Homo-oligomer: A and B are copies of this chain.
Amino acid sequence: MKLTTKGRYGLRAVIDLAVNYENEAVALSQIAERQGISVNYLEQLIAKLKKSGIVDSVRGAQGGYVLAMPPEEISVGDILRALEGDLNPVDCYELNSNEPPCSNADTCVTKYVWKRISDSINAVVNEIKLSDLVAESRRVQAEAGSTQVNQPKQTC
């Protein structure tokens, strides 16, 4: 019941992009350095974000990535689903009709549990907008002030 590094790194990358965006595209190498993630791996994550329409790319020298929408229109749910796939606790036809129907559907009672978990997760992440995290980031950065050291390695 854990997110993978795709979701964790990818969300940090999008926040980084939003915070450091100033009319110009941000190169992946910059995000990678600030966040302590390899460029190659980050490429794979940002490809998913682009495919989902969350970021746009600018090719060529001085290129990079920009948000495809204002941060208040992007939810954490959009970002995490782009990176992780659906946020359901199980692969179940009742939650996602792409899954094969379950032979046991008639008498299955656990599906109600999975549905409620899925609904609650998605409700929470849909409610949190990227703009909320950007604002929070600016706040904590200001508080941390000049005493901060650069320690990009982190556990969460």
Candidates B12, B110, B144; contact of A15 at CB < 8 Å:
B110
A72-90 contacts to B, CB under 8 A, are 76, 84, 87-90
- Contact of A151 with B by CB under 8 A: yes
Complex Cα distance, B76 from A112, in Å, reads: 11
Please, which residues of chain B bring their CB within 8 A of the CB of A94? 156
Copies of this chain in the oligomer: 2
Contact across chains for B120 and A136 when beta carbons are under 8 A apart: no
| Complex interface bits, A125-156 against B, C-beta within 8 A gives 1, otherwise 0 | 10010000100110011011000100111111
Please, which residues of chain B bring their CB within 8 A of the CB of A12? 110
Please, which residues of chain B bring their CB within 8 A of the CB of A3? 1, 89-90
Least Cβ–Cβ distance between A84 and chain B, in angstroms: 6
Contact across chains for B125 and A11 when beta carbons are under 8 A apart: no
Contact across chains for A102 and B154 when beta carbons are under 8 A apart: yes
Contact across chains for B84 and A109 when beta carbons are under 8 A apart: no
Across the interface, name the chain B residue whose C-beta is closest to A127: B116
Across the interface, name the chain B residue whose C-beta is closest to A85: B1
A91, A99, A104: residue with the most chain B Cβ atoms closer than 10 Å: A104
Interface residues in chain A, defined as those with a beta carbon under 8 Å from any beta carbon in chain B: 1-3, 7-8, 11-12, 15, 76, 84, 87-94, 99-100, 102-104, 106-114, 116-117, 120-121, 123-125, 128, 133, 136-137, 140-141, 143-144, 148, 151-156
